[in-house]
Chain A
Amino acid sequence: MISHLRTMWLVFIHLFKKKVTIEYPEKRVELPPRWRGRIVLTKDPDGGERCVGCYLCAAACPVDCIALQATETEEGRRYPEFFRINFSRCIFCGYCEEACPTYAIQLIPDFEMAEYKRQDLVYEKEDLLINSQGKYPGYNFYNVAGLDAGVKEKGKGKDEEKPVDVKSLLP
Chain B
Amino acid sequence: MPTIYIDNKPFDVKAGKNLLEACLSLGLDLPYFCWHPAMGSIGACRQCAIKVFKDEEDTRGRIVMSCMEGVKDGMRISVEDAAAKAFRSQVVEWLMTNHPHDCPVCDEGGSCHLQDITVMTGHNYRRYEFKKRTYPNQYLGPLINHEMNRCIQCYRCVRYYRDYAGGKDLNVFAAHNHVYFGREKDGVLQSPFSGNLVEVCPTGVFTDKTLKEHYTRKWDLTNAPTVCQHCSLGCNTISGERYGKLRNVVNRYNSEVNGYFLCDKGRFGYEFVNSENRITQPLIRNRTVEAAGHDAVMQHVRTLVSGHTLIGIGSPRASLESNFALMELVGKENFYQGITDDLVYIEQKIVDILQSGTIHTPSLKEIEQADAVLVLGEDIWNTAPVMALAVRQSVMKTAATHSTEQVPLPAWHDNAVKELVQEDKGFLANITLLPSPLDEISTATMKAAPDDIARLGFAIAHLLNPSLPEVPNASEALISHASNISKALQQAKHPVIITGTSCWSNALIRAAFDIAAALDMNEKKAGLAFVMQECNSMGLAMMRASSFDRVVANVRNAANVTAIILENDLYRYIPAAEVDAFFSKCKNIIVLDTLHNRTTEKAHVLIPAATFAEGDGTFVNNEARAQRSSQVFMPANKEIKESFKWLSDIKSSRTITANGHDKHPDDLMLALESKLPQFAGVSRVAPPHDYRVHGARIPRESHRYSGRTAMLANLSVSEPQPLQDDDSSLSYTMEGYRGMPPSPLIPFFWSPGWNSCQSVNKYQQETGGSLKGGDPGVRLFEQTTAAPVFSKDIPDAFAPRPGKWMLLPQYHLFGSGELSIYTKGIASLSPEPYISLSKRDAETSRLNNGDPVSVKTNGKTYAFPLSINESLPDGIMLLPAGLTGLEAQDWGAWVNISTVIV
Instruction: Give the chain A neighbours of B136 by CB distance below 8 A.
Output: 154, 163-164, 166
Which A residues are in CB contact (< 8 Å) with B709? 63-65, 86, 89
Within the assembled complex, what's the spacing in Å between the Cα atoms of A88 and B705? Answer: 19
The answer to whether A72 has its CB under 8 Å from any CB of chain B is: yes
Set of chain A residues within 8 Å of B105, measured between Cβ atoms = 52, 54, 78, 145, 147, 149
Would A146 and B706 count as touching, CB distance under 8 A? Answer: no
Contact between chains at A162 and B134 (CB < 8 Å): yes
Does the CB pair B100–A163 fall under 8 Å? no
Q: Residue B180 contacts which of A144, A161, A164, A171 (CB distance < 8 angstroms)?
A: A164
The complex places the Cα of A86 from the Cα of B719 at a distance, in Å, of 11
Contact across chains for A52 and B717 when beta carbons are under 8 A apart: no
Asked whether, in the complex, the Cβ of A171 is within 8 Å of the Cβ of B173, the reply is no
Q: Which of B131, B173, B708 contacts A166 (CB 8 A)?
A: B173
- Among B161-169, B212-220, B315-323, B818-826, which stretch is in contact with chain A? B212-220
Q: Cβ of A145: which chain B residues have Cβ within 8 Å of it?
A: 100-102, 104-105
| B416 on the A face (CB < 8 A) | no
B contact residues around A168 at 8 Å (CB)? 174, 178
A169 within 8 A of B: yes
Q: Point out the residue from B135, B215, B704, B714 that lies within 8 Å of A84, measured CB to CB.
A: B714
Q: What is the count of residue pairs linking A and B with beta-carbon distances less than 8 angstroms?
A: 138
Tell me whether B307 is interfacial, beta carbon within 8 Å: no
With A69-B243, A122-B717, A166-B178 as known contacts, state yes or no: A58 contacts B707, CB within 8 Å. Answer: yes
**Contact partner, B104, options A101, A119, A148, Cβ 8 Å:** A101
Asked whether any CB of chain B lies closer than 8 Å to the CB of A18, the reply is no
- Whether the Cβ atoms of B104 and A67 lie closer than 8 Å is no
A118 at the interface (CB under 8 A from B): yes
Residues of B within 8 A of A161 (CB): 131-134
Q: Are B710 and A89 in contact (CB under 8 A)?
A: yes
Chain B residues in 8 Å Cβ range of A88: 713, 717
With a cutoff of 8 Å between Cβ atoms, the chain B residues found around residue A78 in the complex are: 105, 215
Report the Cα distance A147→B136, complex, angstroms.
9
Task: Known A55-B217, A58-B220, A155-B134; judge A64-B147 contact (CB<8 A).
Answer: no
Q: For the complex, is A121 an interface residue (Cβ under 8 Å from B)?
A: yes
Give CA–CA (A29, B109) in the complex, Å: 42
B175 CB-CB contact with A under 8 Å: yes
Q: Could you tell me if A56 and B219 are in contact, using CB atoms closer than 8 angstroms?
A: no
Q: Encode contact with A along B89-119: 1 for CB under 8 Å, 0 otherwise.
A: 0000000000011111100011000000000
Tell me, in angstroms, the Cα distance from A149 to B137 when the chains sit together.
Answer: 12
Q: Does B716 count as interface, using CB distance less than 8 angstroms?
A: yes
Please report the C-alpha to C-alpha distance between residue A145 and residue B99 in the assembled complex, in whole angstroms.
10
Chain A 108-131 per-residue mask, 1 if CB under 8 angstroms from chain B, else 0:
000000000011011010000000
Q: Which single residue of chain A is at the shortest CB-CB distance from B149?
A: A146
- The answer to whether A163 and B219 have CB atoms under 8 Å apart is no
| Docked CA distance A56–B216 (Å) | 11
Residues of A within 8 A of B708 (CB): 64
A102-B104, A163-B134 given; A64·B219 CB < 8 A: no
User: B710 contacts A66, CB within 8 Å?
Assistant: yes
Say how far A82's CB is from chain B's closest CB, in angstroms.
Answer: 8
Tell yes or no: A98 within 8 A of B by CB: no
B190, chain A: closest CB distance, angstroms: 20
Interface positions, chain B 170-209, Cβ under 8 Å from A, are: 173-176, 178, 180
Q: Is B713 in contact with A84, judged by CB distance below 8 angstroms?
A: yes
Convert B697-723 into 0s and 1s, putting 1 for each residue whose CB lies closer than 8 angstroms to a CB of A. 000000011111111011011100000
* Residues 147-167 of A contacting B (Cβ, < 8 Å): 147-149, 154-155, 159-167
Asked if A124 and B134 make an inter-chain contact with CB atoms under 8 angstroms apart, the answer reads no
- Please indicate the chain A residues that have their CB under 8 angstroms from the CB of B214 in the complex: 69, 71
Q: State which residues 81-101 of A face B: CB under 8 Å.
A: 84-86, 88-89, 101
* Contacts known (A119-B716, A164-B174); A64 close to B707, Cβ less than 8 A: yes
Interfacial chain B residues near A147, Cβ < 8 Å: 100, 102, 105, 147, 149
Cβ of B243: which chain A residues have Cβ within 8 Å of it? 69
Shortest distance between the CB of A108 and any CB in chain B (Å) = 20
A142 vs chain B, min Cβ distance (A): 8
Q: Which B residues lie within 8 Å of A169 (CB)? A: 174-175
Q: B717 touching A119 by the CB < 8 A rule?
A: yes
Question: How far, in whole Å, are A141 and B215 apart by their CA atoms in the complex?
Answer: 19
Chain A residues within 8 Å of B132, by CB: 146, 159-161
Minimum C-beta distance from B855 to chain A (A):
43
- Considering the chains assembled together, what is the distance between the CA atoms of A119 and B713 in angstroms? 8
Cβ-defined partner of B101 (8 Å) among A66, A119, A146, A166? A146
B131 touches A160 (CB 8 A): yes
A40 — which chain B residues lie within 8 A by C-beta?
A: none
Q: Return chain A residues, CB-CB under 8 Å to B220.
A: 55, 58-59
Identity of the chain B residue whose Cβ is nearest the Cβ of A100 in the assembled complex: B104
A61 contacts the other chain (CB 8 A)? yes
- Distance to closest chain B CB from A135 (angstroms): 18
Q: Which residues does chain A contribute within 8 Å of B713, judged by CB atoms?
A: 65, 67, 84, 86, 88, 122
CA distance A169 to B176 in the complex (A): 8
Q: How far is the CB of B721 from chain A (nearest CB, A)?
A: 16
Choose from A65, A89, A122, A165 the contact partner of B714 (Cβ within 8 Å). A122
Tell me the smallest distance from the CB of A107 to a CB of chain B, in Å: 17
A5 to B132: give the CA distance in the assembly, Å: 76
B131 touches A61 (CB 8 A): no
Residue A31 interfacial (CB < 8 Å): no
A86-B217 CB under 8 A given contacts A58-B707, A67-B707, A155-B134: no
How near does chain A come to B295, taking the closest CB pair, in angstroms? 31
Tell me the bound Cα distance from A84 to B175 in angstroms: 48
Docked Cα-Cα span, A88 to B710, in Å, equals 10
Residues of A within 8 A of B134 (CB): 146, 154-155, 160-164
The complex places the Cα of A53 from the Cα of B106 at a distance, in Å, of 11
Q: When chains A and B are docked, how far (Å) is the Cα of A63 from the Cα of B707?
A: 8
* B704 near A59: Cβ-Cβ < 8 Å: yes
- Bound together, the chains give a CA A68 to CA B134 distance in angstroms of 31
Q: Are B100 and A146 in contact (CB under 8 A)?
A: yes
Question: Considering the chains assembled together, what is the distance between the CA atoms of A89 and B710 in angstroms?
Answer: 9
- Taking CB atoms and an 8 Å cut-off, the chain B residues in 855-881 that contact chain A are none
Please, which residues of chain B bring their CB within 8 A of the CB of A53? 215
Closest CB in chain A relative to B415 CB, distance in Å: 24
Q: B103, B105, B214, B708: which has the most chain A beta carbons within 10 Å?
A: B105
Name which residue of chain B comes closest to A124, CB basis: B714
Please state if A54 and B104 are interface contacts (CB–CB under 8 Å): yes
The digit string for B122-156, where 1 denotes a CB below 8 A from any CB of A, is 00000000111111110000000001010000000
Q: Which residues 19-61 in A have Cβ within 8 Å of B in the complex?
A: 52-56, 58-59, 61
Closest to A117 in B: B717
Contacts of A54 in B (CB 8 A): 103-105, 109
Closest to B148 in A: A164
Q: Check B174 against A61 for contact (C-beta < 8 Å).
A: no
Contact A65 B710 (CB under 8 A): yes
The answer to whether B178 and A58 touch across the interface, beta carbons within 8 angstroms, is: no
Known: A52-B105, A146-B100. A164 touches B710 (CB 8 A): no
Bound CA span A149–B131, Å: 20
Are B109 and A66 interface neighbours, CB within 8 A?
A: no
Nearest chain B CB to A85 CB, angstrom units: 6
The B639-684 residues at the A interface (CB cut-off 8 A) are none
Write the nearest CB–CB distance from A36 to chain B, whole angstroms: 18
Closest Cβ neighbor of B180 among chain A residues: A166
Cβ-closest chain A residue relative to B243: A69
**Chain B residues with CB below 8 A from A65, complex form:** 707, 709-710, 713
Which of B130, B135, B178, B219 is close to A59, meaning CB atoms less than 8 Å apart?
A: B219
Flag if B215 contacts A70 (CB, 8 Å).
yes
13 sample A-B contacts, Cβ–Cβ < 8 Å, listed by A number:
A54-B103, A55-B706, A65-B707, A67-B711, A70-B216, A102-B104, A118-B718, A121-B717, A145-B102, A161-B133, A161-B134, A164-B174, A168-B178
Query: A55-B706, A67-B710, A159-B132 are known contacts; what are 14 more A-B pairs with Cβ within 8 Å?
Result: A52-B104, A64-B708, A65-B707, A71-B214, A84-B713, A145-B100, A147-B105, A154-B134, A154-B149, A159-B130, A162-B134, A164-B136, A167-B174, A171-B176
Q: Which are the 6 A-B pairs with shortest beta-carbon distances?
A: A146-B100, A67-B707, A54-B104, A58-B706, A67-B710, A64-B708
